[in-house]
Amino acid sequence: MTIYKAYAKVNIFLKITGMRGDYHEILSRFMRVDNLYDELYFQEKDTNEFKIIGKFSCESTQNTIYKAYKALLEYTKSEDLEKLMQKNSIVVKKNIPAFAGLGGGSSDSATYLKMCNEKLDLNLSDDELASIGLKVGADVPFFIYGYDSANVSGIGEIVEEFKEPLLEFDTYTPEVQISTPKVYKSYRENFYNPINDDEVKYYTSLKSEDALKTKTPKELNDLFAPALKEYKELKQYQKDGYFFSGSGSSFFRTIIRSVKCV
């Protein structure tokens, strides 16, 4: 049995660059969290129905993995894919909190797409998988490409690797279930102030370590202020040295490893 890791991510920064219809365009630095991941694998079953085994609060048909299955099936028209999911459940050992701004659902669905691509020899490129994944969620393409760090722009479909050392993170997630659409709505109505082209260039080349050393949580994340406005209880969970990931509710900081003298 092969077990696949679906890693979490943090948003080092998340800046709004404008609107595309009803969607907000962003520039964000995504970085993988190496010490936090869900585990996925296939497990044989007796019934033909699509089945996800794991601790989820939603119905299977609302799960991002099921949505990824339907999007992949629509793209490939693969009978082998249908047979795979008739014979197997997808088991998910959840470690990434839900409603957390850590990309758990997107990472699970991206990992599922890669699992199917590998197991069924579909020979789909990362670009094809990313295009399929974008139908499931804006963050999915980042997890398809598997970069340590990347600049993510547009509505999430543009993922450009940013070469820098992978940082280690400590994350914590308050029990505050945040609605991403609600936070974006509050930003649009109360805080709308897209960054300009010069700021885009600045953030695109800014190293993550430098960003976390020189900027405040509100400066780095345009969604932090609207999240605090809509969910006032978040204020009590904010700690010095911690930053806000995505639309929340997770906070993170870098872990500094001490060097022993010998």
Q: pLDDT tens digit string along 73-115? A: 999 999 999 999 999 999 999 999 988 999 999 999 999 999 9
pLDDT tens for 28-74 read 999 999 999 999 999 999 989 999 999 887 777 889 999 999 999 99
In order of 33, 169, 206, 234, 235, the CA distances from 254 in angstroms are 10, 4, 16, 20, 20
Q: Which fold has domain 169-254?
A: Alpha-Beta Plaits (3.30.70)
Residues of the chain with CATH 3.30.70.890: 169-254
Q: Which of 9, 15, 67, 114 is catalytic?
A: 9
Indicate if the pLDDT at residue 158 is higher than 70. yes
What is the average pLDDT across 156-171? Answer: 95
Count, residues in the chain: 262
Q: Which of 138, 119, 45 is nearest to 76 (CA)?
A: 119
pLDDT over 60 at 261, yes or no: no
Average pLDDT over residues 4-27: 95
Among the listed residues 15, 108, 114, 139, the single catalytic one is 139
pLDDT tens readout for residues 169-200: 999 999 998 999 999 999 999 999 999 999 99
Q: Assign domain 4-161 to a CATH class.
A: alpha beta
Listed residue (231, 222, 161, 218) closest to 195, CA to CA? 222
- Find, among 77, 106, 84, 74, the residue nearest to 9 by Cα: 106
CB 14 within 8 A of CB 103: no
Q: Is the pLDDT of residue 213 over 70?
A: yes
Check: CB of residue 127 under 8 Å from CB of residue 141. Answer: no
Q: Tokens 């949505």 — which residue?
A: 67
- Our answer to whether residue 185 is catalytic in this structure is no
Q: Is 139 noted as a catalytic residue in this protein?
A: yes
Residue 259 pLDDT more than 50? Answer: no
Task: Return residue ranges of the chain for CATH 3.30.230.10.
Answer: 4-161
Closest CA to 103 of 25, 42, 14, 192: 14
Q: Give the pLDDT of residue 258.
A: 45
Q: E-strand spans in 130-238?
A: 149-154, 158-161, 169-172
